[in-house]
Structure 1
């Protein structure tokens, strides 16, 4: 059963998945709002390029690596981005970041997932946006977080996976921000580490 996360909620991945997870997929999905038209006729959809990123932090809360559309794989190979979707077209996940939790280096304490509007549109122009965590082995959705909070923000700190007492946990952060790429969110991420 999927846990529908609320902002600030924390869960144990092993408990929610019914056992230790080895590989997970963080999926990001969205649709661009249709605009204009008369009773739906002639409405157009703008292209909105949202980008998912994963920043790896060490015990001292310093960023040590990042996976995003310009670097699709972490240096150690434990985290892989499946590629950049520049429109949000289609159903399901538009972008995915696959994490082999068993291979994440011991020096990495947390993984922070962000979403940025690379084209600069605000989330007021986005609908049906979500991030979800899936058990890669079974394909079962473990947790889902709705990102479709409308507003003038162009970025969001979605969630954090972190080690606590030898197990992986998830924290739904859901904090709105600004910036076209993950690096503009780093000062805002710091208090959540």
Structure 2
């Protein structure tokens, strides 16, 4: 059974999943259901489309950004991280966007991976519900841990979680830190503050 992450409390991935090499970060959300009667739903009510974008920022030990994987660059320059593609609506169950990471292929100077979510269209997180981030052992197709974002607000971005090298292994920490920005490029400074 997956571990439910507590905001700010690191989880040792080395202890939870020894030998972990291939993972993916699945991010999901739903648009808030609009209130209204039969006519509103019939003529354009219900849930609106929410275009959130999942991203991964790679940092070195000095917290300098090395690379960025997001909807405008679907692969890291070294090929160790791949974005599964852009979901423009948030429709459907499960993961809406997925970022695949081959830990064995990450460059040696990568010390931190920060996973973010942004609203490209500028919609706020007051319009989003059921947002989550889950880390999955891709080799075993087994969910390791999960963070459910409860906070609402007028912010347009969230630093969801980070992974950091520690004593030869990796730790995972949930953050759920609200910020402003339409892409991950806009919130790199916010990402630095959590690692």
Structure 1 counterpart SS, 2:105: coil
The secondary structure found in structure 2 opposite 1:191 is helix
1:162 and 2:164 matched: yes
Whether 1:98 and 2:137 are equivalent positions in the alignment is no
Alignment RMSD (CA, Å): 1.4
Corresponding residue number in structure 2 for 1:125: 127
Indicate conservation of the 8 Å contact 1:51/1:84, yes or no: yes
1:118-157 aligned at under 5 Å gives the runs: 118-157=120-159
Tell me the secondary structure at the aligned position of residue 80 of structure 1: strand
Give the Cα–Cα distance (whole angstroms) in 1 for the partners of residues 40 and 193 of structure 2.
Answer: 46
| 2:17 corresponds to 1:7 | no
- How far, CA to CA, are the matches of 1:139 and 1:67 in structure 2? 22
Equivalent residue pairs, number: 192
Query: Are the counterparts in 2 of residues 126 and 148 from structure 1 also a CA contact under 8 Å?
Result: no
Structure 1 position 148, deviation (Å) = 3.5
1:107 aligns with 2:78: no
Shift in CA distance, 40/107, structure 1 to aligned 2, threshold 3 Å? farther
SS at match of 1:102: helix
Alpha-carbon distance in structure 1 between the residues aligned to 2:131 and 2:51: 12
Give 1:41 deviation, angstroms: 6.9
SS at match of 1:172: strand
Shift of 1:40: 10
1:33 Cα offset (Å): 1.0
Distance 1:8 1:40 in 2: 45
Q: Are residue 16 (structure 1) and residue 32 (structure 2) matched?
A: no
Per the normalisation by structure 1, the TM-score is 0.95
C-alpha separation in 2, matches of 1:79 and 1:40: 46
Cα displacement (A) at 1:146: 0.7
Equivalents in 1 of 2:38, 2:136: separation in Å? 38
Per the alignment, residue 90 of structure 2 pairs with 88
Unaligned stretches of 5+ residues in structure 2 = none
Aligned residues of 1:123 and 1:148 also touching (Cα < 8 A): no
List gaps (5 residues or longer) in structure 1: none
Residues 114 and 40 of structure 1: CA distance in aligned 2, closer, same or farther (over 3 Å): farther
* 1:54–1:68 contact (8 Å) kept in structure 2: yes
